[in-house]
Amino acid sequence: MSLDYQEFENKMKKTCEFLKEQLAAVRAGKANPAVLDRITVEYYGTDTPINQLASISSPDARSLLIQPWDASALKAIEKAIQASELGINPQNDGRAIRLIFPQLTEERRKDLAKQVKKYGEDAKVAVRNIRRDAMDKFKAQKKKSEITEDDFKDVEKDMQKLTDDFIKEVEKIADDKEKELMEL
């Protein structure tokens, strides 16, 4: 009899980690190098993340300084940032690119909060899908008489508790990000 929840718990943990990565890229009022994580640059024929082409520092709360190790990548990095959904115009001084993060307007904050809610809902759906996959697997085991009816009922309870715990975790992650966005 194999009642192994570990693979499903790990998938749910990965869903939470992915949500954290997605939300790190949603910019609040503060400059955060994570907003650049999803932006890639065409560099010698390969899409390369900016953080592998340059050092990224935050000289103050409202700006990021991107200093490429190879000066020839400067224009490509600038173009990639302009083409992204970041909504910030990069300032290129010939040696580095500076990104100045403007104060978020109330309307922009609300838009970002909606985006955060959507990411949270997507993560909850993913967690529920993992539960469904787990239950399908355990139903198949019950059908083959690999587990008993009582085992199946226990599994059902345990998987529901696991799902509820991860849904709460997802909600907490999304709520924390929303609070961060709404702070002035």
- At 105, the pLDDT band (50, 70, 90 cuts) reads confident
Q: Look at residue 47 in the predicted model and tell me its pLDDT.
A: 87
Q: Which pLDDT tens digit goes with each residue over 17-51? A: 999 988 877 766 667 787 788 788 888 888 888 88
Domain boundaries, the chain: 6-23+105-182, 30-100
pLDDT more than 70, % of the chain: 96
What values do phi and psi take at 61, rounded to 5? -65, -20
Q: Count CB atoms within 10 A of the CB of residue 10.
A: 11
CATH of 30-100, one of 3.40.50.150, 3.20.20.80, 3.30.465.10, 3.30.1360.40: 3.30.1360.40
Amino acid 1: pLDDT: 37
- Residues whose CB falls within 8 Å of the CB of residue 40, separated by 6 or more in sequence, listed in order: 47, 48, 49, 50, 80
Interatomic CA distance for residues 170 and 35, integer angstroms? 20
Give 137-180 pLDDT, tens digit per residue. 999 998 998 888 999 999 999 999 999 999 999 999 999 988 88
Q: Which CATH architecture has domain 6-23+105-182?
A: Orthogonal Bundle (1.10)
The H helix count followed by the E strand count for the chain is 4, 6
Give the pLDDT mean for 99-103. 81
